Structure formats: C-alpha cells, structure tokens
Structure 1
Amino acid sequence: MNFFILVLVATTIGFASRAEPARQRICYSTAETRDKIVSLGLFEPFHLMRNAATKMQAEAIGARLCRWSEDLVYEISLLRHDGRVLHISVDAKTGKVVGSKNEE
C-alpha cells in the first residue's frame, strides 16, 4: 500500500471524528508533511509506523502529521489481527508515544 492510500484510510477510519476540545488540531497534507520532515528534522513516519506495529502486534494502515497546539504529532492507525483498529499518537520530534485511542 502506498503512503497516499494509507493517509486516506487513516482519515476515513477515525481521526476525522476525534474531538480535541482543549487543543487546536490542524493536520497536514502529504506534501506539507514531507516539507516539515526535512525542514524541522522530524522522524520519518514509516519508521514510527513500523515500530508501533511491531510493538502492538498489528499492521500499520496509516499515519498523518498533525499539530496539536504547539506539538507536532503523528497519528498512526494500526489494524490488529482480531480486527480492532488502534490509534497511537507519537511525538514527531522525539518519537515517543504521547497517547492512544482504541476502538472496542
């Protein structure tokens, strides 16, 4: 699956509906994401997706870069073998998991 399809799938399956009342949330296009990775020295999303998938025993299905207030965060979607979709938020500068939201 290429990156464009993965981003579309992530948007469709959950992040668009998630509310962030305390934080302003703005997500970036694929081109904007590439520019920010280069200009700000952010982690590559594929590396973080692969690590999250391995750790959670799931298949990475999408990622996108978003700004939450002043923080840049990758929102990563994973599909477990039991059909559950997991949503992991990873700080784009440090690579550390900063949150998760899982569908039951």
Structure 2
Amino acid sequence: MSIRFLILAAAMLTAVLGASASQAAELKAVGKLADGQCLSPAQRRHVSASGKVVPLGKAIRAAKARRSEVVDAKLCKGSKGLVYLLTLLAHDGKVTRATVDAASGTLAEGG
C-alpha cells in the first residue's frame, strides 16, 4: 500500500465520521424542539435522509386531493410527531392549510 492511498483512506473516513456526528447532532436537536416549532433546512435534510419521514412529494400528493396547489411547505414538530404544514392555494384563490403526518404521509384529521 502506498502512503498516498493511506492518506486518501484516512481523509475519507474522517469525512464520513464527521458527517455522521453532524447528522446525529441535528437529529438530537429535532427532539428538543417544542410543539409547533419548524425544522431548519439542515435538520430537514438529516431527518429526510434518516428515513424517519416520507418524502415531501408524498405529503404534497396527499394534500392535492383537495384540488389545490401547494405554495409553501414546512416540516414541524407536532404533538404526535413530525408533520408537514402545507399552505394551499385553491383555483378560486382561497388559501387554506393542510397538515400531513410526516411518518405516514396521510392527511391529518381536521388538517
């Protein structure tokens, strides 16, 4: 083995371990959010990468059953776990909100 290979392998391992620690810190921070607080972009990426939530596209499809366009989406902590809070614009111009369970991708009751 060459020195060059060992240095490259060490650098790659350091990068992977650093990313894992960063992801763990972001996921831990999500657990400390109060109900109603929304995740930062970095937290959203880490939670999505962890597989703990459905992709945003699935949540949008659930909300589009209302025949509206999604104009804003946030991933927030709800009382029973993470939820997507979607702002919808209907064809008549009316703005409504929908709540989608982020774990299952189903439209929440009353949401």
- What range is the shorter-chain TM-score in? 0.5 to 0.7
Identity among equivalent positions (%) equals 32
Which structure has the greater CA radius of gyration? 2
SS at match of 1:26: coil
How many pairs were matched up?
78
Q: Which residue of 2 aligns with 1:89?
A: 99
TM-score by length of 2: 0.61
CA RMSD of the aligned region, Å? 1.9
1:24–1:51 Cα change, 3 Å:
closer
Q: Runs of 5+ in structure 1 lacking a partner?
A: 1-22
Q: Which residue of 2 aligns with 1:80?
A: 90
1:63 aligns with 2:50: no
User: What do residues 23-59 of structure 1 show as CA deviations (whole Å, max 9, x unaligned)?
Assistant: 8321012221111111143111123213412x11111
Runs in 1 of length 4+ with deviation above 3 angstroms? none
Q: Which residue of 2 aligns with 1:34?
A: 45
Q: Which amino acid aligns with 2:87?
A: S
Q: Which amino acid aligns with 2:105?
A: G
Q: Which structure: greater strand fraction?
A: 1
Are the equivalent residues in 1 in contact too, given 2:58–2:105 (CA < 8 A)? no
TM-score by length of 1: 0.65
Q: Which structure: greater helix fraction?
A: 2
